[in-house]
Structure 1
Amino acid sequence: MNAALEVRALDVAIERIPILREVSLEVPAGSMVGLIGRNGAGKTTLMRSIMGLMPFSAGRMAAAGEDLQKLPAHALARRGISYMPEDRRLIPALTVEENVLLPAWANGLADAANRLQWIYERMPEVREFRTRRALQLSGGQQKLVALARALMPGRKLLLLDEPFEGVAPVLSRRLTEVIAGLRQEGLSVILSESDDTHSADLVDRVYRIERGVVTAG
């Protein structure tokens, strides 16, 4: 079986300044992988590069065997690959439900209504405040909505950038429960964190990143 994600010899530079150096990692299908590193270590740059949102060079970048380097960024959602950014990036004036449905509208996903119900079954609190505007939510609630939005197209591979950052303990525990449940759905997940406080019991393997260099364990 092909790995859910395979990265080999990934280099990223911004204005000729190296940010990521010879990064290699693998996410086995159906597994959760932790990416641990301090702020500024390169976690977000790595995730954005995988999603095709930054220019990069790589020996190999493939999802389920398909070469991601040949695909435009907008094509990833149709292949079940999705990204939850650290800063959430909800549209404040839209309702929670509208924010969750945005990827479906943008990518013409035909089963959006069924997928929305699937998300609500796993995150009933999001259903409860679905008619509220995003700007009316707490930071932790916004994280839940951002995860729900990522799950709309994210049927196979999810990239979760600091999902617990700035979240109150009670909502951190709830996020942990939801993310743990994704394993039973067969999803593959990369979860980044500044340390392994929340992810230690979730992930199958760990990569550590420091100054743009990734090492296993």
Structure 2
Amino acid sequence: MLEVKDLNVSIAGTPILRNASLEMAGGKTFGLIGRNGAGKTTFMRSVMGLLPATSGTIRINGQDVAAQPPHLRAAMGVGYMPEDRRLVSEFTVEENILLPVKALGKTFDPARLDWIYELLPEIARFSARKALALSGGQQKLVALGRALIVGDQLLLLDEPFEGVAPALAQRLVEVIGALRQSGMSVLLSESDSVHSAGLLDGLYMIERGDITLREDIGAA
């Protein structure tokens, strides 16, 4: 599903990712664990094409997309939930969720939205509310719904549990667990694996832009 090999990325001339490699099969949930500043967000944004790679390959379902524009990922069924949510504050919840579909010029599938609302009934209840009026935790759920509207193959979740109340963190664990059971491929990043340990099929550690595979998932 996702294969990244020898990825090098620099920001403002400073190397951030150094020959970073990661591989995950379809239908699996993997964690990318590292402290703040280790390169997790840079890795996610690079996979999504939002940061250019100096060198290396990024293959999604066997297709190298390293030099392709960001919107190609969404067209390939890849959904992305950024750490900072990046909702359009003046748009309603539903408008934010549907934004990737409209950006791609795709035909809207009401059944997909109904499925998201069934999975996340919390956001269905305030679908007509402006994103500006939501709490940070509620915005996290909306950002997840937006990722799911196009992400029917692979989800990249950047720090999904950061800054949310314990009850919402547990709710996110339940939702991600349901996605895992449905056969969705999920890569999520965290500073530690406290929340996600029971969800993971595999675990990568990132430190100073270098990624290593951990065999002992519970030790992170």
Q: Could you say which TM-score interval applies, normalised by the shorter chain?
A: over 0.9
Q: CA deviation at 1:109?
A: 2.5
Letter matched to residue 193 of structure 2:
D
Specify the alignment match of 1:76 in structure 2: 73
Task: Please tell me whether residue 212 in structure 1 is matched to residue 209 in structure 2.
Answer: yes
Could you tell me which runs of 5 or more consecutive residues in structure 1 were left unpaired when the two chains were aligned.
none
Specify the alignment match of 1:181 in structure 2: 178
Specify the alignment match of 1:122 in structure 2: 119
Could you tell me which runs of 5 or more consecutive residues in structure 2 were left unpaired when the two chains were aligned.
215-220
Which aligned runs of 4 or more in structure 1 are off by greater than 4 angstroms? none
Q: CA deviation at 1:27?
A: 1.3
Structure 2 contact 9–16 (Cα < 8 Å) conserved: yes
Structure 1 contact 80–155 (Cα < 8 Å) conserved: yes
Specify the alignment match of 1:37 in structure 2: 34
2:45 corresponds to which of 44, 48, 72:
48
Distance 2:193 2:128 in 1: 34
Structure 1 contact 12–57 (Cα < 8 Å) conserved: yes
Distance 1:103 1:113 in 2: 14
Q: CA deviation at 1:61?
A: 1.3
Specify the alignment match of 1:139 in structure 2: 136
Distance 1:214 1:70 in 2: 21
Distance 1:196 1:183 in 2: 16
Q: CA deviation at 1:42?
A: 0.3
Q: CA deviation at 1:51?
A: 0.5
Q: CA deviation at 1:87?
A: 0.4
- Please give the secondary structure, in 2, of the residue aligned with 1:59: strand
Task: Please tell me whether residue 104 in structure 1 is matched to residue 107 in structure 2.
Answer: no
Specify the alignment match of 2:162 in structure 1: 165
Structure 1 contact 31–189 (Cα < 8 Å) conserved: yes
Residues 16-35 of structure 1 mapped to structure 2, 5 A cutoff = 16-35=13-32
Aligned residues: 214
TM-score, normalization by structure 2: 0.94
TM-score, normalization by structure 1: 0.95
Specify the alignment match of 1:195 in structure 2: 192
Structure 1 contact 60–67 (Cα < 8 Å) conserved: yes
Structure 2 contact 47–66 (Cα < 8 Å) conserved: no
Distance 1:28 1:58 in 2: 23
Distance 1:15 1:142 in 2: 30
Structure 1 vs Structure 2 CA RMSD: 1.1
Letter matched to residue 136 of structure 2:
G
Structure 1 contact 101–112 (Cα < 8 Å) conserved: no
Distance 2:208 2:50 in 1: 20
Distance 1:15 1:123 in 2: 39
Distance 1:145 1:49 in 2: 23
Task: Please tell me whether residue 154 in structure 1 is matched to residue 144 in structure 2.
Answer: no
2:9 corresponds to which of 4, 8, 12:
12
Distance 2:27 2:117 in 1: 22
Q: Which moved more, 1:105-114 or 1:122-131?
A: 105-114
Distance 1:126 1:213 in 2: 37
Identity of aligned residues (%): 59
Q: CA deviation at 1:186?
A: 1.7
- Please give the secondary structure, in 2, of the residue aligned with 1:47: helix
